[in-house]
Structure 1
Amino acid sequence: MSTLAINNDINANTQSHTNHDGSSLLSQGLVEGRTPTVLTDIYQDNTNIVIWQRNLDNKLTIAVNHLLEHNPTLTLLLIVTPEDCFEVLSEKFEKSDAITALINDITLLVDMFCCLFNLKQAGLRLTILDRAMCPRFHVDRIPCRLVTTYKGMATQWLDNNIIDRSKLGAEDQGKTDEQSGLIQDIDDINQLTQGDIALLKGENWDEHEGAGLVHRSPDVSQGERRLFLTLDFIND
């Protein structure tokens, strides 16, 4: 997807939607599609999660499996730009043609993320997990985050209009999400699919207080591992 295409879609979305008050934000929902241009719908006021549904191709799958085999305890926390991302990541891994497809994919996502939000740089976290990183449903006090799971079970989330936010965090009195009353029905839990690219609006998105996407990490079965990427805003 070209920078021009992203900018054109951003302009179309921001010009065709007006701001809503706090109560209408609580009815926000999902936009999903099979092309990357769907990501520009994050600018719609009535949306707080956008999903680019995609399947990993064979080269990318091979690269992911190679990384899991050769870097089983990987945790990378980096600040990268679209211009230096490929070089920075290449320096973190032993030279191998097998890993190049993954580095190329992450570099593309960094470029798209920075273009979409007019950022010069992004905070990158790439980690291999054998347990849930954030096992409780929560909201993030950030503007927006890109998440994708290259291998394993992917992020879970809840629709705004079916949750009781008073049950989040410290108000749950030590109960599980299922016991606290936050979730009325286990079928209300939505889940991304391996390979999906998602943008999750947080509490710090403009005029979005009280409507950040409620989400959590999935359980990781014993003996399984999860390769997870996030991209975040970084102030210049």
Structure 2
Amino acid sequence: MSVDMAMPAEMVRGASVAPRSTMPSILSDIYQPENNIAIWQRPLSSEMTAHIKNMLQEGQPLALVQSVTPANAAEWIRNRLSDYECADALGEDIGLIVDMFCCLFDLQQVGLRLTALDKPMCPKFHVDQIPCRLVTTYVGSATEWLSNDDVDRRKLGAGAQGMADHLSGLFDNEQRINQMQSGDVALLKGGGWEGNEQTGLVHRSPELISNERRLLLTLDFI
């Protein structure tokens, strides 16, 4: 898959670290040293969304974890979700995203996790000590994050002294919190990216509304 480096990017608050665009080529902006997130904003088809919601409403546990390649990702998803109407569309979409991720980082395979969640997986703001992670929420509330200029990193982890994020001094008010939308595909640069050790993206799982279930996809380097 070719990546057009000339596509324009819209900048959100904290412009030096948050390029976003409706074009998938925006994901290549993660290579810019000043960026620790890049967001491809995209709508999902109403049909696929409805089918995913139907799957989630059944309430069955779903936690698919596998090393996949661009050649086998779509079929693997289809086989694992063969009982559901969303299997073909979701398999095709995930196969495309795996192909993009591998192309962008010159990878032969990736670690895939597709999970249905009914509670926050990582409810406190934190930094992942990995090079880079792809995240997308197909249904439900999506990932929240803070721009570098809006966070006091001394209040992460033990520095919060056990206090909740909104009380610890990590950020000065909740308007500083940015949130992705369902369907968005984002690359989150972590502390394991060479040269980004002190500026990994600060992010967390969203608080879910009553009876809400999310479908979250993550891809990681192997």
TM over 0.5: yes
1:223 aligned to which of 193, 211, 216: 211
Q: Specify the SS of the correspondent of 2:36.
A: strand
Question: TM-score w.r.t. structure 2 length?
Answer: 0.91
The Cα RMSD (Å) is 1.9
Equivalent residues in 2 for 1:57-96 (5 A)? 57-70=45-58, 72-95=60-83
Q: CA deviation at 1:57?
A: 1.1
Deviation by residue 1:84-125 (Cα, 9 ceiling, x = unmatched): 112221221225554211111011100100001000001111
Question: Structure 1: where are the runs of 5+ without partners?
Answer: 13-25
In structure 2, the partner of 1:45 is 33
Bigger fraction of residues in helix: 1
Q: Identity of paired residues, percent?
A: 50
Following TM superposition, the consecutive aligned residue runs of length 4 or more in structure 1 with deviations greater than 6 angstroms are: none
Aligned to 1:102: 90
Query: Which residue identity does 1:187 align to in structure 2?
Result: Q
* Equivalent residue for 1:136, pick from 124, 135, 145: 124
> Is 1:155 equivalent to 2:143 in the alignment?
yes
Q: Distance in 1 between matches of 2:64 and 2:198?
A: 31
Alpha carbons of 1:87 and 1:71: their partners in 2 closer, same or farther (altered >3 Å)? farther
- After superposition, the C-alpha distances for 1:144-182 in whole angstroms (9 at most, x for unaligned) are 111011111100000101211110001111100111100
- Where 2:195 maps in the other structure, the secondary structure is coil
Confirm or deny: 8 A CA contact 2:21 2:39 kept in the other structure: yes
Partner residue, 2:11: none
Given the superposition, is the C-alpha separation of residues 96 and 131 from structure 1 closer, same or farther in structure 2, using an over 3 Å criterion? Answer: closer
The whole-number CA distance in structure 2 between the counterparts of 1:153 and 1:145 is 18
Q: Residue 30 of structure 1: CA displacement?
A: 0.4
**Residue 214 of structure 1 pairs with residue 194 of structure 2:** no
List gaps (5 residues or longer) in structure 2. Answer: 7-13
In structure 1, the residue matched to 2:100 is 112
